[in-house]
A and B are shown apart, each in its own frame.
Chain A
């Protein structure tokens, strides 16, 4: 398909581009969608505590 050709388009200002930045939303999306949780202390803390609890539970029974 032939590309569309635009001649002398108005240049977007740096201020406008800056206004459209949304880093916080990206961080949230990345944390929700990726394996960052595997590296977090919270994740390993929960896994560790559950393992210990399960170990004692199994041995006590």
Chain B
């Protein structure tokens, strides 16, 4: 069963607590501390999932929070949690790091995720199929890869995928389905192994 990220999805009480922290952080950057404490780990994991070097991931995460704290006065609550705003900053900082060659676009995959894809593709988990999957993943375009990562690697609900990519939930669903279809097509394409 798909799990719901408890840090991302808030109860009304948690949301109002977060709003209090945001208002307070707008007064003084020191008051951003509880938000930093709450989100630092998940933003780091999001960044490190997409790059190869750990130290660079720490640096990019730090830059994400620097930008967030600097621009918190502009933040307005529009029905999406602060986390989605932080993820959008992280996405843009990651792209900047790739452009500056400070980081290499990386796909991190483990055996559980490989097994999930094999189940979806109705294939056997073996060395040959693993190689075919890696080859297919590396051929996806940027957006399709992001959709696959958010949904299948990180197990996020479509609502959250949509908020991170700034698209509607339904659109996220359709686009993810299409990305999966493309991946399947690439997986089934004859490759020279």
Q: Verify A14–B66 contact, CB threshold 8 A.
A: no
Which of A10-42 touch B at CB < 8 Å? Answer: 12, 14, 17-18, 20-23, 26-27, 29-31, 33-34, 36, 39
Chain B residues near A8 (CB, 8 Å)? 109-111
Q: Determine whether the beta carbon of A20 is less than 8 Å from that of B58.
A: yes
Stretch of B85-93, B99-107, B169-177 with 4 or more beta carbons under 8 angstroms from chain A: B99-107
B44: nearest chain-A partner, CB-CB = A17
Is A17 in contact with B41, judged by CB distance below 8 angstroms? yes
Interface residue? B36 (CB, 8 A): yes
Q: Assess whether B180 is interfacial by the CB under 8 Å rule.
A: no
Q: Is the CB of A26 within 8 A of B65?
A: yes
Q: Mark B25-61, 1 if CB is under 8 A from A, else 0.
A: 0011110110011001100110010001010001000
List residues of chain A with CB within 8 A of the CB of B37: 21, 23
A61 at interface by CB-CB < 8 Å: no
Contacts of B134 in A (CB 8 A): 5, 7
Cβ-based interface call for B138 (8 A): yes
CB neighbours of A22 from chain B (8 A): 62
* Residue contact A6 to B44, C-beta cutoff 8 Å: no
Contact A30 B110 (CB under 8 A): no
Task: Name the interface residues of B124-145: CB closer than 8 Å to any CB of A.
Answer: 134, 137-139, 145
Taking a contact as CB atoms under 8 Å apart, the answer to whether A2 and B138 are in contact is yes
User: Can you identify 21 A-B contacts, CB atoms within 8 angstroms?
Assistant: A3-B137, A4-B52, A4-B107, A5-B138, A6-B106, A6-B107, A6-B108, A6-B109, A7-B111, A12-B45, A12-B54, A17-B41, A17-B45, A18-B41, A21-B36, A26-B36, A27-B29, A30-B66, A33-B66, A34-B29, A34-B70
Where the two chains meet, the residues of B that have a C-beta atom closer than 8 Å to any C-beta of A are 27-30, 32-33, 36-37, 40-41, 44-45, 48, 52, 54, 58, 62, 65-66, 69-70, 104-111, 134, 137-139, 145
Which 8 A-B pairs rank lowest in CB-CB distance, beginning with the nearest?
Answer: A3-B105, A30-B29, A34-B70, A4-B106, A30-B69, A6-B108, A17-B41, A2-B138
With A30-B69, A33-B66 known, 15 other A-B pairs at CB within 8 A are A3-B137, A4-B52, A4-B107, A5-B137, A5-B138, A7-B110, A8-B110, A8-B111, A21-B37, A26-B65, A26-B69, A27-B30, A29-B66, A36-B28, A36-B29
